Every structure is written in structure tokens, then in C-alpha cells.
């Protein structure tokens, strides 16, 4: 059974703080890892699709790293802004054509002005 875990469950930071959260997943038979940003009443928005061990991807102030051997990925936000407040989900898709995704619980970030 594929189990994807995220920590912490929630995080409250001040504007300007940098922060990071973790996604862990089984390292055996790894295929890919997705990070999503999800604001209430909106579609979960794909931030990163990561496939290779050692991958580091960046989008503005947000970056992510991937370690497939030990089964974790970190998401970093540098200089958090109130608009970064959202739930951040990681998901591991299967490598089959159906490609269903198994999600973590999410980390809910609140950035206070």
C-alpha cells in the first residue's frame, strides 16, 4: 500500500519568514512526485512534477527538492507573503497508464501580515 505523508499538518508564519515542509513516500518503485498548491474554492494548482533523484525545481520564491532513495521531498518558500497562504499537497502518481495519484494530508500554511 502506497502511503504518502506530509508534515507539519499546519504552519503559521509571519510575512517575510522562510519556511519548509516535508512529504515522505515509499522509495521502492518510485515514479514521480507532484506538489500542488490549493486555495479554498479553487482548483489545486500543480507547482512541480519531480521525477529524478536529486531534482531541484524552482518557481519564483518556491522551490522543491527530491530524494527518491530515502523517500522524501521538501518544499521551501522564501520570504513568505500572505498570498502564499494555502494548503500544499504532495501526491505520488502510479506509473501505470491509469496513473492514479495517492495524496498526502496536506500542509496548511497561514502567513500573517
Query: Which residues of this chain interact with other proteins, rule CB under 8 A?
Result: 31-32, 34, 36, 41-44, 46, 49-51, 89, 91, 93-106
Measured CA to CA, the distance from residue 92 to residue 50 in angstroms comes to 10
**Which residue number, 32 or 109, has a Cβ lying nearer to other proteins?**
32
Q: Checking DSSP bridges between strand 101-103 and strand 86-93, what pairing results, if any?
A: antiparallel
Q: Please name the residue that has the C-alpha cell 501505470.
A: 96
Q: How far is the CB of 40 from other proteins (least distance, A)?
A: 10
**Which residue number, 95 or 112, has a Cβ lying nearer to other proteins?**
95
Measured CA to CA, the distance from residue 64 to residue 20 in angstroms comes to 9
Q: How far is the CB of 105 from other proteins (least distance, A)?
A: 5
Q: How far is the CB of 37 from other proteins (least distance, A)?
A: 11
Instruction: Output the nine-digit C-alpha cell for 64.
Output: 522543491
**Which residue number, 47 or 80, has a Cβ lying nearer to other proteins?**
47
Q: Checking DSSP bridges between strand 33-38 and strand 45-50, what pairing results, if any?
A: antiparallel
Amino acid at each position: 500500500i502506497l502511503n504518502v505523508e506530509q508534515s507539519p499538518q499546519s504552519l503559521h508564519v509571519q510575512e517575510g519568514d522562510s519556511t519548509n515542509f516535508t512529504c515522505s513516500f515509499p522509495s521502492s518503485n518510485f515514479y514521480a512526485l507532484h506538489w500542488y498548491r490549493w486555495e479554498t474554492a479553487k482548483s489545486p494548482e500543480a507547482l512541480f512534477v519531480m521525477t529524478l533523484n536529486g531534482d531541484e525545481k524552482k518557481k519564483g520564491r518556491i522551490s522543491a527538492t527530491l530524494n527518491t532513495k530515502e523517500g522524501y521531498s521538501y518544499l521551501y518558500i522564501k520570504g513568505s507573503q500572505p498570498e502564499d497562504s494555502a494548503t500544499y499537497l504532495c501526491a505520488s502518481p502510479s506509473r501505470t497508464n491509469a496513473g492514479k495519484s495517492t495524496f498526502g494530508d496536506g500542509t496548511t500554511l497561514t502567513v500573517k501580515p
